[in-house]
Structure 1
């Protein structure tokens, strides 16, 4: 039986297609969930009814078909019956009519067939699938209800509607319609809509021939090359395509076009009379603008247009180098790179590195050569706002908008929204919520570390920001939680989310970079009341002071022509200068003399506890050094400082991992070196409960006689390590 129904539907489609062109299908409207459920239920009933209809007691199908028809007619009256629902309703009427006929109830069969014809006047039973007796019975029932209508128009292609319902496109042969009175509308874009009234009697044929009066103009375009967008009054109307027709070759050549590259004649119809602004646009070409005057309702041939190429060049370099370049999302190599033949216009430049990225929108003019320095900055993903009370929930959207507006002013980080779907998927995979990433949630630190690393890889970021709205009687505060990828404890910073000034301290704290190097003399002095100046206690081996010829015991009494009375005076002067600057000293010893010291640079440890620092931001900056300059001393010193930051948070397991790498990456020399990493490795192992391994690390550190802590002039590692190692 299912094959019969399908066969009938195929026949119906063929008949309709033969009668006239079909209206282009419009996008189907959204179907409410309740209607979808009802249609699915009816579809299930159809399967049951078909099985009964094909079975030995066909009459049992009538009860099921009655229920189907009642439910579908209800949807039809409510105006929610879908096209598929109409097809099922027609099937139900056909099956019920045939079932009634087969049990001898011809009048009831006729009623079902009449309802079917009123639903779909062009419905026909398949002579191959349905009993000839039923077909012969159905035919006069249909003829008593149906007449015929044929409509033609000049020009053809007009849309014909009967009482507001689409019938076909002109011209078409007589189509079956229900007998009755109709208001017929014949409409075509660019022409006045014509209306006719017609009465159609059963079995009769009515014919309408309708001339259409043109009201709008059409413009025809030819361009070189094809693929040019045609914009009329700010709206895209068409795109040129195809190849030029032979009869237009000479005209195109006369206008300077290459016929082999020119487009086919492209129509833009339905244009109102009057002046129109035309823009011709194609990527990598100059925009052509012109005004056309369409004073009459006729066809206009617009002068053929040859589009001029519009290209520029872009030079990109980054720090660190070797970053991947993406122009409007397309991979273009790595920095440094010269990009030639770049289309003029607006572009999105992305330069991505494992340590961060650079983002900027640029506008290139024709023949412009633009050079971009692309400083790689860490990226911070905003994970959204979490409320701890019902009052907070009501303002989440407003708070999020205010936060994004104010935090987009960050200058040392790329502030990016974290895609909710991606973030939710990664968190859900580990059964973790956003609040589970924060202190006090009781989440296993190793899980936080794993999840933040996964998020960082998926989002291409180095850290995260989550805002928490605490429970307050008056909701004013947002607790900003900053968490570096791979870290386990966030930094908290409270802001009044509706006060722009409240964000300034946070912006300043985030944009502050921790000092990891400073200018260095290698001169260690001591304050005393016995001298006018500061005596030199010792000199770092191979340091700038030693290289300048200074000697222990000499007294520095002036620098840069200023008197030096205490060590702080000398340090302040050194801090005001940069590495490789020269520092003029006056010293007294066996004799007074002037000495010029060329300043060097010393690595500097991050303070273990500095209230002014956001340690998670510091960790993001340090990871940029590690990932941006692998294998360098700068990366090794950054690794050591990552361990110090981890110890700040009490995460000695993470510190241990960093120090294992730092002890092999740091140089073996006086000052901050492998001995420094070994000493801190001993501290981490001791805090983790590995006393034997800690002693081994301390003993190795004690052997590094010239290693120091804090910076190259700091306290010696060896005696400190020896004391902690014990006998």
Structure 2
């Protein structure tokens, strides 16, 4: 008899648990077989205990099939415990655990003794009352205290007041309040009133989004069953090719627009006529098939070693040219040996999209140090976890769950998976009102920022500094300009030889740019930013056309608006890419600015390594004279032992009388170098 009852359930397990833990399933089947076929109570009990030990901690989130396994295990253990005087007291606890898990479960009354059945019924009756249900029409959803489920003919509900709701598409839901006390045995009869038509859709592909009159109703899901065969087979489809029926309920009178969207498929729009809404009825549309939709994607980079990922899937090494891609949105990621590139893109049907990938420094958040609880801790951590959505110049890597900051730091340093690290530490005190954020390069350049967790936007200053990346170029004309009081426009301090040959006069003001008055250097900069190719200038005489060119800038030091570790990380990445592209002058400009960044952190020896070997081919503006002057400053900072080297560097700077600091309009280098030489005498 026991063996006969085992076989149907083996079949159920094979159907319902194929994707679950096979070892646990085998343990459950072995337990039943040991008792049913061999009478091995001890062996069966041991295996049932293993099943209960694995499933009971997860009882609240088990799917229905595994919940059934746990209930049956409690039932079998109660029976087995009851057969031995030593374990007999545990039988009641097994039955109580079963009831707590699912009061609607019925013990196997052919397996369970009448005494245990009576005990089970008594324990359940101490806290639960049976309720019988009837439904008209059937096929709806029954919610008990807001928890939806399939309607059953009988439920055991705990004593107290319960709100029951029965609903079905196309009908007005019915609510019922049921008050249950000990000894109750009540009925709940639901009869729904029709209020609208319904429309059932079968869609290919499954997962398509369904919109009615522009409002999303959700997604078609699953696979249709055999009952859909008469509908899909005339279209050359199988039931498993389309979704399970998607029901549109409460269809208002009149015409409607039905829209279906799916990744990699063309959106389809259908007009639903008024006769589908009235008179009230249930309708099934002919299965809807969406057509594939693709575009092409090309991704290139001047930086070597990049690998392309689209929404997490690798597409191979760069360059990637004319890659066929399903139309729609993607997260485009390029992983480089150092740095990363990320952009959200949309590939349009039939169109080609080209992306130039430039790596950004990767910023790894190490986590919040210590376990100290303080007001605003959870909020601050949440803001730090979502920091990446606000950053434009760095790629953000959130902290790994369960990892301490010390472990995270060791991992990042060993793997070199980031160029920057961010850590957070609450400041000690009776009440924590500030948290110190530390951002640093792996080479050790570090800045600190105090934030208040209870501020409206405590991370706002950090975001602003990380997003502020100063440019290394600006559009220019080869002129050094100055705003002088009383002059009608920017005063020309110096001009390149080519500009002077074109007609520009040093020592006179510019009055017109592209035929319009220009009153200041800033106004001229705005003209240059919008110019294409050339700008026509006037100094009161004949107009002169000059080509717009990229002019070098140097990194401003000591600015509270900038995050210098992030700038250094970006410059190091840029240098690797530009050097690989054999752009010598550009690479040397980056090296000069790297040197300035290191000077900001007083790492003058490291700065000299960058400056001494760099050479700029330009002689005006930020140029070779600028580089030589900064080299001299670094040698001065290293002390009197390097006085000769400092003197030599400053003398070299004097050879470039048109060299400037900061930018083409900055102070001339030569007077500063001359004063430095005087100070060294």
Superposition TM-score tier, normalisation by shorter sequence? 0.5 to 0.7
Q: For the residues of structure 2 that align with 1:281 and 1:415, how far apart are their CA atoms?
A: 31
Contact 2:204 2:290 in 1 (8 A): no
Q: Give the one of 551, 558, 582 matched to 2:535.
A: 582
Q: Secondary structure at the match of 1:556?
A: coil
Are 1:458 and 2:407 an aligned pair?
no
Contact 1:355 1:628 in 2 (8 A): no
Q: For the residues of structure 1 that align with 2:447 and 2:315, how far apart are their CA atoms?
A: 37
Q: Secondary structure at the match of 2:343?
A: strand
Q: For the residues of structure 1 that align with 2:609 and 2:289, how far apart are their CA atoms?
A: 61
Q: Give the one of 288, 291, 312 matched to 1:329.
A: 312
State the match for 2:445 in structure 1: 488
Shift of 1:641: 0.8
State the match for 1:178 in structure 2: 113
Q: Give the one of 612, 616, 621 matched to 2:565.
A: 616
Q: Secondary structure at the match of 1:238?
A: coil
Shift of 1:327: 2.2
Q: For the residues of structure 2 that align with 1:471 and 1:115, how far apart are their CA atoms?
A: 54
Cα RMSD (Å) of the superposition? Answer: 6.7
Q: Give the one of 373, 381, 398 matched to 1:400.
A: 381
Q: Give the one of 496, 503, 508 matched to 1:557.
A: 508
State the match for 1:413 in structure 2: 393
Q: For the residues of structure 2 that align with 1:528 and 1:303, how far apart are their CA atoms?
A: 78
Structure 1 unaligned runs (5+)?
Answer: 1-11, 28-64, 98-110, 121-160, 169-174, 196-214, 216-220, 432-450, 563-567
Equivalent residues in 2 for 1:150-169 (5 A)?
164-167=105-108
Equivalent residues in 2 for 1:422-571 (5 A)?
424=404, 427-428=406-407, 457-458=416-417, 462-471=419-428, 477-484=434-441, 486-492=443-449, 494=451, 497-500=454-457, 507-520=463-476, 522=478, 543-548=497-502, 556-561=507-512
Q: For the residues of structure 1 that align with 2:390 and 2:634, how far apart are their CA atoms?
A: 34
State the match for 1:383 in structure 2: 365
Q: For the residues of structure 2 that align with 1:546 and 1:716, how far apart are their CA atoms?
A: 21
Equivalent residues in 2 for 1:365-384 (5 A)?
367=349, 369=351, 371=353, 376=358, 378=360, 381=363, 383=365
Q: Give the one of 231, 234, 238 matched to 1:262.
A: 238
Structure 2 unaligned runs (5+)?
Answer: 18-41, 58-69, 95-101, 122-129, 134-138, 140-149, 156-190, 192-199, 211-216, 252-257
Q: For the residues of structure 2 that align with 1:526 and 1:177, how far apart are their CA atoms?
A: 99
1:196-219 superposed Cα distances (whole Å, 9 cap, x missing partner) = xxxxxxxxxxxxxxxxxxx9xxxx
Q: Secondary structure at the match of 2:314?
A: strand
Contact 1:380 1:465 in 2 (8 A): no
> Between Structure 1 and Structure 2, how many residues are aligned?
528
Larger radius of gyration: 1
Contact 2:374 2:432 in 1 (8 A): no
Contact 2:394 2:466 in 1 (8 A): no
Over 3 Å counting, the alpha-carbon distance change for 1:656 and 1:238 in structure 2 is: same
Over 3 Å counting, the alpha-carbon distance change for 1:243 and 1:320 in structure 2 is: farther
Shift of 1:351: 4.9
Over 3 Å counting, the alpha-carbon distance change for 1:538 and 1:369 in structure 2 is: closer
- TM-score, normalising length from structure 2? 0.54
Over 3 Å counting, the alpha-carbon distance change for 1:114 and 1:667 in structure 2 is: closer
Q: Give the one of 591, 604, 612 matched to 1:652.
A: 604
Equivalent residues in 2 for 1:203-214 (5 A)?
none
Q: For the residues of structure 2 that align with 1:288 and 1:342, how far apart are their CA atoms?
A: 19
Contact 1:223 1:263 in 2 (8 A): no
Contact 1:226 1:263 in 2 (8 A): no
Q: Which deviates more, 353-362 or 284-293? A: 284-293
Q: Secondary structure at the match of 2:592?
A: helix
1:635-675 superposed Cα distances (whole Å, 9 cap, x missing partner) = 43122112211111112354245446xx25x4445355567
State the match for 2:554 in structure 1: 605
- TM-score, normalising length from structure 1? 0.52
1:210-235 superposed Cα distances (whole Å, 9 cap, x missing partner) = xxxxx9xxxxx99897877899x958
Over 3 Å counting, the alpha-carbon distance change for 1:225 and 1:13 in structure 2 is: farther
